[in-house]
Homo-oligomer: A and B are copies of this chain.
Amino acid sequence: MKIHEHHARDIFKKYGLPVPEAEVANNPEEVKNIARGMTPPVVVKAQVLVGGRGKAGGVKIAENHDDAMDKSKDIFGLLIKGLRVEKVLVAEAVDIENEYYLGILLDRDKKKHCVIASTAGGVDIEQVAEETPELIGKTWVDPAYGLHPFEIRNMLFDAGFDPKLALKVTGILMKLYKVVIENDCSLAEINPLVQAKDGTLWAIDAKVNFDDSSLYRHPELKPLKESEETDPIEKEAHARGIAYVRLEDGNVGVIGNGAGLVMATMDEVKRFGKGIAKPANFLDIGGGAQADLVRSALELVTMDQNVKVILINVFGGITRCDEVAKGILQAIEEVDLKVPIIIRLAGTNEKEGRELLIYSGLEKYLDIKNAPYKVIESLEQAAPIILETIGVPAQ
């Protein structure tokens, strides 16, 4: 789960990390009022859950509170990577001398937390890692005994931090580690950590991601959750609790059970699609799906106007094929799907599922263009039917 910078900042503050004075504003008037109480200059920052807001014009320095209000007018309503700016953070600006990068993340290869620091801050850390890896310091946390100041110091000295600065940064990283451990963060980042001209250190930007599986034990974090989806269908899927990802330029809706199977099915569509048929989405009905969920999934996929045909690929384990068939029939009855469905069912209750579909009589038409669905034996059979459907000019 991602959260807004200002929420991350509040958490940082609670743990004693040095964040500048700042407050959230919902409109230019509020920006003015907040900025009035601050020592100018101030910085106005768009609150969106994606990176690259600086380049998109979402961050501006203002000389005084009137200027802050004016500049915030350009930021409110801005569309950054599809997300509209509805809140801004107004913060006291810091007189920057140096910028550093600090981060802690879960390393899935080593199965440990990794603490990262670099004297090259304020920029994309992945780029630094690629171009000047010697500027990146890393240390991994002992899963048993945790992180210790000396390990951080060793890492910072090696990464070229000034020794006196390294002592201060060690304290900051110990606090950041506490944020990570106590809140089950998958990532916590300060980029940049700024050394001001007067020598003080400031966490200018705050980024925190949480492990979704741990949210049950952090009820206080739940209200911070905001939709990360820029796509309206993804938002709707999220609301329905369905794992759905929309793809660009696709025309074949893909539904399956299990992420791996769905991805493999998408790949297959792309491969046999000859550049004509392309997967329009990822939709995983998960394990043990009931008819209702299948119905809901079909409805979702057809919300995408580009979808011309749907491919359902289910291999039943916990999932029962007859439940899937029931869901398909429900959808056809209750929702105007408009597009044909190619259905492949295998595994648990395969026979029952197929019989439900066949005896419904809906598959009787000779031609897929006239029938609501077509049941196939194996995925290979899908290719010609899908191509036939797509190949015909829509209406």
- Tell me the residues in window 134-153 of chain A with beta carbons closer than 8 Å to chain B beta carbons: 144-145
A residues 141-197 near B (Cβ < 8 Å) are 144-145
Q: Which residues of B contact A145 (CB under 8 A)?
A: 144
CA distance A31 to B304 in the complex (A): 69
A113-135 vs B, CB cutoff 8 Å, 1 = contact: the mask equals: 00000000000000000000000
Chain B residue at minimum C-beta to C-beta distance from A142 = B144
Cα A144 to Cα B144 with chains together (Å) = 5
Q: CA–CA, A144 to B146, complex, Å?
A: 8
Residues of B within 8 A of A144 (CB): 144-145
Chain A: number of interface residues, binned into ranges: under 10
- Cα-based distance from A145 to B146 in the complex (angstroms): 9
Q: Taking the nearest CB of chain B, how far is it from the CB of A218, in angstroms?
A: 14
Q: How far is the CA of A375 from the CA of B192 in the complex (A)?
A: 68
Question: Could you mark each residue 87-119 of chain A with 1 if its beta carbon is under 8 Å from any beta carbon of chain B, else 0?
Answer: 000000000000000000000000000000000
Closest to A145 in B: B144
Bound complex: CA of A145 vs CA of B142, how far in Å?
A: 10
A145–B143 Cα gap in the complex (Å)? 8
Q: How far is the CB of A146 from chain B (nearest CB, A)?
A: 9
CA distance A145 to B145 in the complex (A): 7
Complex CA distance for A118 and B393, rounded to whole angstroms: 79
How many angstroms from the CA of A144 to the CA of B145 in the assembled complex? Answer: 5
A275 smallest CB distance to B (angstroms): 54
A130 to B144, CA, bound (A): 35
Tell me the minimal C-beta distance from A291 to chain B in angstroms: 37
Residue of B nearest to A144 (CB): B144
* C-alpha spacing A144/B142, complex, angstroms: 10
Q: Chain B residue with minimal CB distance to A146? A: B144
Q: How far is the CB of A175 from chain B (nearest CB, A)?
A: 13
CB distance from A352 to the nearest CB of B (A): 41
A145, chain B: closest CB distance, angstroms: 6
Bound-state CA distance A145–B144 (Å) is 5
Taking the closest CB of chain B, its distance from the CB of A220, in whole angstroms, is 14
Q: Determine the distance from Cα of A337 to Cα of B145 in the docked complex, in whole angstroms.
A: 54
Q: When each residue 204-248 of chain A gets 1 if its CB lies under 8 Å from chain B and 0 otherwise, what string results?
A: 000000000000000000000000000000000000000000000
CA distance A307 to B52 in the complex (A): 79
Report the Cα distance A56→B145, complex, angstroms: 46
- Shortest distance between the CB of A231 and any CB in chain B (Å): 41
CA distance A17 to B144 in the complex (A): 27
Distance to closest chain B CB from A177 (angstroms): 16
CB distance from A15 to the nearest CB of B (A): 14
Cβ-closest 2 pairs across A and B: A144-B144, A144-B145
The residues of A with any CB-CB pair to B shorter than 8 Å are 144-145
| 2 A–B contacts from the bound complex (CB under 8 Å) | A144-B144, A144-B145
